Amino acid sequence: MGLSMPSPLVRGLFAIIIIALVVLVHLKLLRWVTESHTRRRSVTWLLRGLAVLSASWILASVFVRRAPGLDYVPVWLAWIFGLGITWGFCSLLVLGLSVIWRRLPAFNPRRRGFLLASRTALIAAPAAVAGFGVFIGRKDIGLREINLRMAALPKDLDGFRLVQLSDIHLGPFFSRDDLARAVDMANETRAHLAVVTGDLITRRGDPLDTCLKELSRLKADFGIWGCMGNHETYANTEDYTEREGARRGIGFLRQRAHWFSKGSARLNLAGVDYQSVRRPYLENAESLVAPDSFNILLSHNPDVLPMAARKGFDLTIAGHTHGGQINVEILAQNISLARFITPYVYGTYRAGESALYVTRGLGTVGVPARLGAPPEVALIRLCAT
């Protein structure tokens, strides 16, 4: 059974722990700088400033996400805070190195001199990692093809192709040109169905109309369909997104379903608004399941898988996690903050005969960087067993 989303109190405590770790890392870095034979005041104050930026943006993201004054954040300010928090998270990567540094025993002067000379490079490591994530990893959109074998798939749906775009977060860190590249990539797949699984924007004031206009360029035999994400809920733009999406040919399924026929097979596509932990998952959603059909559910939150399986959905398509967004591989294990929130971070999962695909999505939130989780357009190909 999947883990549910933690309460706001738990998320707040988690943020405080992250802030404490960020501050600890910067204290370590400051000690390294001030202990060197030639103190550099400018570097010291730079590290202090970056620590403040990192901690303040984490606090802002968690506790004042819906504050009226934060609806319209200037692009330059978003980049300043975004780079600050990126530095903060990447600085956590050197925490282990600081511990190792302190535990090193005394050894020959030549080797110690080499490590002292390496100190500056070690302090610069977070900047290098952050730079890669911001300027390369964030922009490296790829096409991910998934062959999904389904026991209940009707013969006439064998080879059916769905292209998925999710977690766009159009704004300062993911531009219209970026989205246009993703849409062009999706159109090259010649998919039967195009789906958009939420989080078109991050906050109220982001260019939602521009996002909808660009998404309306998607081409698929059975049209463009979508569901709402948590950021549509936070921004209170669900009704507007549904109305303007319909005007542009995008059908957002809000607790409703639409069916298609292909040959003798019938495909039933259902969608739900963001499923919050505050209410039971997929409440009354059994009415969206059609008998004698292959039932697909669009849900931004992947945690619904166990309930979706019980309700009778054959396949759930989700996003939300960004594939972890910042992933570090340690001892052949991918470590990311998303794994503390949900067991469904990225890829294909099963619950009995029911399947789930979770995409890494396109944009970013909080940290304007991606490491080990490049953005993707997902092409899901249904295959009969």
Looking at per-residue pLDDT, the higher value among 171 and 148 belongs to 148
Beta strand 250-252 with 256-262 is unpaired
- Quote the mean pLDDT of the chain: 80
> 328 pLDDT exceeds 50?
yes
> 87 pLDDT exceeds 90?
no
Are the C-beta atoms of residues 216 and 248 closer than 8 Å to each other?
Answer: yes
Q: Which residues contact 135 (CB under 8 A, 6 or more apart)?
A: none
Looking at per-residue pLDDT, the higher value among 251 and 47 belongs to 251
Are the C-beta atoms of residues 358 and 339 closer than 8 Å to each other?
Answer: no
User: Do residues 97 and 178 share a domain?
Assistant: no
User: Do residues 88 and 12 share a domain?
Assistant: yes
pLDDT at 369: 81
Q: What average pLDDT does the segment 309-335 reach? A: 86
- Residue 342's pLDDT band, with cuts at 50, 70 and 90, is very high
Q: How far is CA 353 from the centre of its chain?
A: 26
Q: Is residue 1 part of a domain?
A: no
> 269 pLDDT exceeds 70?
yes
Are the C-beta atoms of residues 86 and 113 closer than 8 Å to each other?
Answer: no
Q: Which of 86, 119, 137 is the last residue of a domain?
A: 137
pLDDT tens sequence across 217-238: 999 999 999 999 999 999 999 9
pLDDT at 108: 52
> 15 pLDDT exceeds 70?
no
pLDDT at 315: 99
Q: What average pLDDT does the segment 115-132 reach? A: 53
- Residue 196's pLDDT band, with cuts at 50, 70 and 90, is very high
Query: Which residue carries 């400051």 as its tokens?
Result: 30
> 212 pLDDT exceeds 80?
yes
User: Do residues 148 and 173 share a domain?
Assistant: yes
Looking at per-residue pLDDT, the higher value among 359 and 10 belongs to 359
For the residues of 129-198, what is the DSSP string, one character each?
A: HHHHIIIIITT--EEEEEEEEETT--GGGTT-EEEEE-----BTTB-HHHHHHHHHHHHTT--SEEEEES
Beta strand 161-165 with 193-197 is parallel
User: Do residues 73 and 121 share a domain?
Assistant: yes
User: Do residues 108 and 149 share a domain?
Assistant: no
User: Do residues 303 and 215 share a domain?
Assistant: yes
pLDDT at 117: 52
User: Do residues 229 and 250 share a domain?
Assistant: yes
Q: Which of 119, 137, 155 is the last residue of a domain?
A: 137
> 3 pLDDT exceeds 50?
no
For residue 247, the tally of other CB atoms under 10 A from its CB is: 10
Q: What average pLDDT does the segment 64-79 reach? A: 49
Could you tell me the CATH number of the domain that includes residue 343? 3.60.21.10
Coil, helix or strand at residue 217: coil
CA dist., res. 49 & res. 91, Å (int): 14
Q: What average pLDDT does the segment 117-130 reach? A: 53
pLDDT at 66: 44
The DSSP symbol for 37 reads S
> 245 pLDDT exceeds 50?
yes
pLDDT tens sequence across 302-320: 999 999 999 999 999 999 9
pLDDT tens sequence across 170-185: 998 899 999 999 999 9
CA dist., res. 350 & res. 131, Å (int): 36
Q: Which of 80, 106, 137 is the last residue of a domain?
A: 137
Looking at per-residue pLDDT, the higher value among 75 and 281 belongs to 281
> 289 pLDDT exceeds 50?
yes
**pTM for this entry:** 0.76
Does the CA dihedral 302-199-323-165 come out positive or negative?
Answer: positive
User: Do residues 190 and 117 share a domain?
Assistant: no
> 253 pLDDT exceeds 50?
yes
Give the strand order in the sheet containing 315-318: 256-262, 265-271, 294-298, 315-318, 354-358, 347-351
Q: What average pLDDT does the segment 121-142 reach? A: 61
pLDDT at 356: 99
Query: Which residues span the domain enclosing 372?
Result: 142-384
Q: Is residue 265 part of a domain?
A: yes
CA dist., res. 272 & res. 275, Å (int): 8
Coil, helix or strand at residue 313: coil
Looking at per-residue pLDDT, the higher value among 38 and 346 belongs to 346
Q: Copy the structure tokens of residue 313.
A: 């959905």
Q: Number of structural domains, the chain?
A: 2
User: Do residues 16 and 146 share a domain?
Assistant: no
Q: What average pLDDT does the segment 252-275 reach? A: 98
CA dist., res. 179 & res. 166, Å (int): 11
pLDDT tens sequence across 29-69: 555 555 554 445 555 555 555 555 555 555 555 444 444 44
